[in-house]
Amino acid sequence: MTAITPASAPLSGTDTVSNPATGEAAGQVRWTDPAEVDKIAAGLRTAQREWEHRGAKGRAKALARFALWLGDNRDEIERLLISETGKSATDAAQEVPLLIMILSYVIKVMEKAVAPETRPASTPVLKVKKITIHYRPRPVVGVIAPWNYPVANAMMDAIGALAAGCAVLLKPSEQTPLTAELLRKGWLDSGAPDVFAVVQGAREVAEAVIDNSDYVQFTGSTATGRKVAERAASRLVPVSLELGGKDPMIVCEDADIDLAAHAAVWGAMFNAGQTCVSVERVYVLEPVYDKFVAAVVRDVEALQVGTGEGKHFGALISEQQLAITERHVKEALAAGARALTGGERSPGPGSFYPPTVLVDVDHSMACMTEETFGPTLPIMKVSSVQEAIRLANDSPYGLSASVFSKDVARAKDIALQLDCGAVNVNDVISNLMCTTAPMGGWKTSGIGARFGGEDGIRKFCRQETVVVPRTNVGAGGNYYHNSLATLARTNRLLTRIVLARPRRTAK
């Protein structure tokens, strides 16, 4: 099987988790022995049977109690989030409300989502049969979550799986393990059964999760996503992957420039740029380029960077992530780009990088073609909408995009020429809140989708077709015990019925 990350020493024992903004201890984590994962998964399989048998109404009650727990304990969750990630209070405040919104929606639709469906007969002869499709949960869903949103990304997929009747085996990022433990405690404290387990570790534990799951939901880099898919494929286990992105924004000459600038700055800098659907590159039509750049610089210069209260965004998660941002900026500057704000690492402790606006950029630069996942905003001048579309599509990624124009019909036409899973018109990131619609990537940005209304629950199920007789008349017409003459008459009758239907339709 394929290892999902480069070889490294297995994590073992207990470690201290440190705040990347301050270096202070955030808490202690006990790493899971990979050999324990199969036993944990076996326990989930046993508990899952009763969870499935509760039915959608019974599971909805448990999910509703968990939603109440999230609301009651929001302050504690956000304090831990800030301590574990170095986020600003503004960024940390987004995650719990998003989960409660998802839970509220899922609770309303889950019964319908997993209800059996009847299907019509394809021919009159088969009307003697009743055809029903049942949605049966996959026993254990493995969720491998990233570090950028330790609460939201851990649970937004787990909620759909739990609603479907699955048990969930969660492996959070080894960089942000603490909030996952608090969420599991909240699940149990709210009175829910033991169908949600957390395992802690790096590559070896992730591999064990894949090897013991019946479905794998992974959020992370494209390179790691490929290895997750390869390992799952060896067992023919389905996967859903939300992977990297290099999301473009197109600003037309008739756009509301202040709105577009506000959106670009928030979309690029929110969570220090560590968001899968963040604005990573902007293409601006020449007539409004200078005005747009000036408005962006104005907004960026007003931002306050730091952890906790009163700041717009906080630290990057690690020195490794900061190094990627530094490399992209330095290479761009060396190739002729200009930094209108920021441009080099912030002085002092912590993995902070200032909000950096880059101009005079092009597609020879990594800042325009590789995922940065940092607080940068490269802006490129274009001469036409068609050039903007071509450049936006000139990427191996295809997660989401945005288009700004006062002519909404025109913006929608542009949106439908972009090669990505979602496009926001005159807004950014808002598709992430649209839980009735699928959120998935094209090209190397992923396989499958999260959310999607009822489909976001059904994806964790297997379809089972049950065919029962309405009557025994006609049963066994093709069985071996019949005479050849009987079989011949049956086949002639079926042929006449099937061929007669198109002729009637044609009239």
Q: Give catalytic residues, as residue numbers.
A: 242, 276
Q: Is residue 457 part of a domain?
A: yes
Residues 134, 277: one domain?
A: no
**Structural contact between residues 288 and 450, judged by C-beta atoms closer than 8 angstroms:** no
**Same structural domain, 277 and 213:** no
Token reading at 208: 């064990």
Give the model confidence (pLDDT) of 440-458 as tens digits. 999 999 999 999 999 999 9
Q: What's the structural domain count of the chain?
A: 2
In a domain, 236, yes or no: yes
380 and 281: one domain?
Answer: yes
CA atoms within 13 A on the CB side of 381: 11
The dihedral formed by the CA atoms of 419, 424, 430 and 435, expressed in degrees to the nearest 10: -60
- Report the DSSP beta bridge partners of residue 134: 464
**And the tokens for 144?**
């491998």
How far is 48 from 31, CA to CA, in rounded Å?
A: 25
Length of the chain: 507
**339 is a domain residue:** yes
Residue 76's Cβ-count burial label (10 Å; 0-12, 13-18, 19+) is exposed
Tell me, what CATH number does 365's domain have?
Answer: 3.40.309.10
Would you state the structure tokens that stand for residue 180, as one six-digit string? 């996952």
Per-residue confidence band for 507, with pLDDT thresholds at 50, 70 and 90: very low
- Do 351 and 297 belong to one domain? yes
Taking CA atoms, 493 is separated from 141, 497, 500, in Å, by 48, 6, 11
| Gap between the Cα atoms of 356 and 327, Å rounded | 13
Q: Is the pLDDT of residue 1 over 60?
A: no
**pLDDT > 70 in the chain, percent:** 94
pLDDT at 25: 97
Establish if 315 belongs to a structural domain.
yes
Structural contact between residues 142 and 216, judged by C-beta atoms closer than 8 angstroms: yes
pLDDT, greater one: 2 or 297 = 297
Q: Report how far residue 260's alpha carbon sits from residue 250's, in angstroms, rounded to the nearest whole number.
A: 9
Do 116 and 256 share a domain, yes or no? no
Could you report the per-residue pLDDT of 38-95, keeping only the tens digit for each?
A: 999 999 999 999 999 999 999 999 999 999 999 999 999 999 999 999 999 999 999 9
Q: Which of 44-58, 122-136, 396-410 has the lowest mean pLDDT?
A: 122-136
- Collapse the DSSP code of 120 into the 3-class scheme (helix H, G, I; strand E, B; otherwise coil) and give the result: coil
Tell the residue number behind the tokens 């997993």, with chain if given. 114
pTM of the model: 0.93
**Residue 444 within a domain:** no
pLDDT in the model for residue 502? 56
The verdict on residue 488 lying in a domain is no
| Sheet of strand 446-447, all strands in order from the earlier edge strand to the far edge | 196-198, 167-171, 140-144, 215-219, 239-242, 446-447
How far apart are alpha carbons 395 and 376 in whole angstroms? 18
> Is 215 domain-assigned?
yes
State the Cα–Cα distance between residues 257 and 401, nearest whole angstrom. Answer: 17
pLDDT score, position 506: 45
Query: Does 405 fall in a domain?
Result: yes
Residue 251: what are its φ and ψ, rounded to 5°? -115, 110
251 and 238 in a single domain? The answer is no
Q: Are residues 292 and 393 in the same domain?
A: yes
Residue with tokens 């190094």: 323
Residue 137's H or E segment, with its range, is strand 129-137
Residues 237 and 379 in one domain: no
Indicate which CATH number applies to the domain containing 21.
Answer: 3.40.605.10
Q: Are residues 203 and 257 in the same domain?
A: no
Structural domain span for residue 219: 14-243+451-462
